[in-house]
């Protein structure tokens, strides 16, 4: 039997760092939403007790370092499944981009295995299992729009943003999330107004949402990689209100309501970097 799952990328509409914890992680508050840029995951049940990953990517390993592999192992162990699975990943989400591609794949594997092996568990239980893989997996298990707290594992659903176009531009560098967190100087962080972002979602107020997008990691990454600041400025020169770096970067995104304007900006941004996408919000 084979099951197919979409693994959508996420955007951080806001990202705040509250404090550093004893375990080395940071307590965060992040409003996140999934977008229509996704990897495709195909899961086929195997009689042999093995996890096999197939994907074609220069940047992602197909062994036990793959988060999709780790998700399948964790699922099999937790629910004592003796069968195996062949995971095929069709990778579209850029890697080490701040778009949570690895976490999206892991979450899609958890959702897919629940269907493939007909295990009766709740989404909350899957998200708890996902937290053992990486901080963004619990959000990716739910998808749509939510606020993530703690180290990312406490999820509260929110209304999705008014439907809009999303232009994504990724500079030709990969950013290590761990390295960016290591650079943080708490007293220098610029904090977003998370409550205003949440209120804008409840009010379905697109201009207000755009005005309050904010990411405490933006300056940390931009100080390390000036090309990210440059790319944000290029995106802003198009007269978009809502422009932000997602996650620990380096992807810059812009939110636009009108299709014609979005297509014009998408075409313009392609002159500045190779990896540019135009997708819909969820
Ligand atoms: C920053 C965010 C925002 O959505 O995304 P990305 O930029 O990776 O997409 C996430 O919080 C990233 O989540 P994820 O990529 O799953 O991180 P993990 O694998 O759990 O952690 C990687 C490293 O980042 C640091 N880390 C991560 C999460 C957190 N709340 N505090 C941390 O200090 C830790 O040093 C950890 O070793
Ligand atoms: N299925 C996967 N997809 C993408 N990256 C993966 C996957 N499994 C492991 N990784 C590794 O995770 C790291 C971060 O990848 P990614 O999730 O794309 O980053 P980000 O969350 O910053 O967008 C990379 O070093 C990559 O090799």
**CATH code for the domain of 46:** 3.30.230.10
What is the CB neighbour count within 10 angstroms for residue 125? 16
Q: What is the total count of domains within the chain? A: 2
Which ligand 1 atom sits nearest the alpha carbon of residue 26? 31
Q: Quick one: tokens of 11?
A: 């955007």
**DSSP sequence for the chain:** -EEEEEEEEEEEEEEEEEEE-TTS-EEEEEEEEEEEEEEEEEEEEESSS-EEEEE--SSS-SSTTSHHHHHHHHHHHHTT--SEEEEEEE--SPTTSSS-HHHHHHHHHHHHHHHHTT----HHHHHHHHTTT-TTHHHHHH-SEEEEETTTTEEEE-PPPPS-EEEEEE-S----HHHHHHT--GGG-----HHHHHHHHHHT-HHHHHHH-EETTHHHHHHH-HHHHHHHHHHHTT--SEEEE-TTSS-EEEEES-HHHHHHHHHHHTTT-SEEEEEEB-
User: What pLDDT does 114 receive?
Assistant: 98
174 and 247 assigned to the same domain: yes
Name the nearest CA neighbour of 138 among 182, 107, 173.
107
Cα(39)–Cα(21) distance, rounded to whole angstroms? 32
pLDDT of residue 241: 81
Active-site residue 23, yes or no?
no
Choosing from 136, 170, 232, 234, the catalytic residue is: 136
Same domain, 49 and 179: no
Shared domain check, 222 and 93: no
Helix axes 123-130, 101-116, angle to 10 degrees: 130
The residue out of 157, 182, 202 marking a domain boundary is 157
Provide the pLDDT for residue 165. 98
- Rounded to an integer, what distance in angstroms lies between the CA atom of residue 281 and that of residue 10? 10
168 C-alpha vs ligand 2 centroid, how far in Å?
Answer: 18
Instruction: Specify whether 69 is located in the same domain as 37.
Output: yes
Residues 139 and 170 in one domain: no
Proximal ligand: closest to the CA of 65? 2
Q: Domain of 265?
A: 165-280
Same domain, 123 and 263: no
Of 157, 175, 207, the last residue of a domain is: 157
Cα 230 to ligand 2 centre (Å): 24
Residue 61, pLDDT score: 96
CATH at 171: 3.30.70.890
What is the 181 CA–ligand 1 centroid distance (Å)?
A: 8
For residue 175, the ligand 1 atom closest to its alpha carbon is 7
Mutate which of 8, 30, 94, 101 for ligand 2? The one with the most ligand atoms within 8 Å of its CB, which is 101
Look-up of token digits 């307590």: 27
Does the beta carbon of 242 lie inside 6 Å of ligand 2? no
Ligand 2 centroid distance, CA of 47 (Å) = 28
Backbone angles phi, psi at 218, to 5 degrees: -55, -50
Binding site membership of 59 for ligand 1 (Cβ less than 6 Å): no
Read off the pTM: 0.98
Structure tokens at 200: 């804008």
Answer yes or no: is 159 a known binding residue: no
Is 247 annotated as a binding-site member? no
Q: Are residues 131 and 248 in the same domain?
A: no
Q: Is 243 annotated as a binding residue?
A: no
CA 204 to centroid of ligand 2, rounded, Å = 32
User: What's the pLDDT score for residue 252?
Assistant: 98
Question: Angle 131-105-70 (CA atoms, 0-180°, nearest 5)?
Answer: 55
One digit per residue, the tens of pLDDT, for the chain of length 282 reads: 999 999 999 999 999 999 999 999 999 999 999 999 999 999 999 999 999 999 999 999 999 999 999 999 999 999 999 999 999 999 999 999 999 999 999 999 999 999 999 999 999 999 999 999 999 999 999 999 999 999 999 999 999 999 999 999 999 998 999 999 999 999 999 999 999 999 999 999 999 999 999 999 999 999 999 999 999 999 999 988 899 999 999 999 999 999 999 999 999 999 999 999 999 998
Pocket test for ligand 2, best of 30, 54, 102, 248 (most atoms within 8 A of CB): 102
Is 10 assigned a catalytic role? yes
Q: Which of 144, 280, 255, 169 is nearest to 205 (CA)?
A: 255
The 10 Å CB-count burial string (b at 16+, else e) for 221-238 is bbeebeebbebbebbeeb
Distance CA 180, CA 34 (A): 22
Same domain membership, residue 260 and residue 214: yes
94 is in an annotated binding site: yes
Domain-ending residue, one of 157, 180, 201: 157
In a shared domain, residues 9 and 133: yes
Tell me: do 35 and 10 sit in the same domain: yes
Residues 189 and 271 in one domain: yes
8 is in an annotated binding site: no
What's the CA gap between 281 and 256, in Å, rounded?
A: 10
Same domain, 224 and 150: no
User: What dihedral angle (degrees, nearest 10) is formed by the CA atoms of 212, 216, 218, 223?
Assistant: 140
């Amino acid at each position: 039997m084979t099951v197919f799952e979409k693994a959508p990328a996420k955007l951080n509409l806001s990202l705040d760092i509250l404090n550093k914890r004893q375990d080395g992680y940071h307590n965060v508050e992040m409003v996140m939403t999934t977008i229509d840029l996704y990897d495709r995951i195909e899961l086929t049940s195997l009689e042999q007790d093995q996890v096999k990953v197939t994907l074609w990517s220069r940047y992602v390993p197909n062994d036990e370092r793959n988060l999709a592999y780790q998700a399948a192992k964790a699922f099999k162990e937790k629910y004592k499944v003796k069968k195996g699975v062949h995971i095929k990943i069709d990778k579209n989400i850029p890697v080490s981009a701040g778009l949570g591609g690895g976490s999206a794949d892991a979450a899609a594997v958890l959702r897919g295995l629940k269907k493939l092996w007909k295990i009766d568990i709740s989404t909350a239980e899957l998200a708890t299992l996902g937290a053992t893989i990486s901080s963004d997996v619990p959000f990716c298990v739910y998808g749509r729009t939510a606020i993530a707290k703690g180290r990312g594992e406490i999820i509260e659903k929110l209304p999705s943003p008014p439907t809009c176009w999303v232009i994504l531009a990724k500079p030709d560098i990969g950013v290590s999330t761990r390295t960016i967190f290591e650079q943080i100087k708490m007293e220098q962080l610029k904090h977003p107004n998370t409550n205003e972002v949440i209120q804008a979602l409840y009010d379905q107020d697109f201009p207000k949402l755009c005005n309050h997008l904010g990411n405490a990691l933006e300056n940390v990454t931009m100080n390390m990689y000036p090309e990210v600041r440059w790319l944000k400025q290029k995106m802003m020169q198009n007269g978009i209100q809502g422009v932000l770096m997602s996650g620990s970067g380096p992807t810059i995104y812009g939110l636009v309501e009108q299709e014609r304007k979005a297509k014009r900006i998408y075409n313009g941004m392609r002159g500045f970097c190779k990896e540019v996408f135009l997708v819909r919000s969820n």
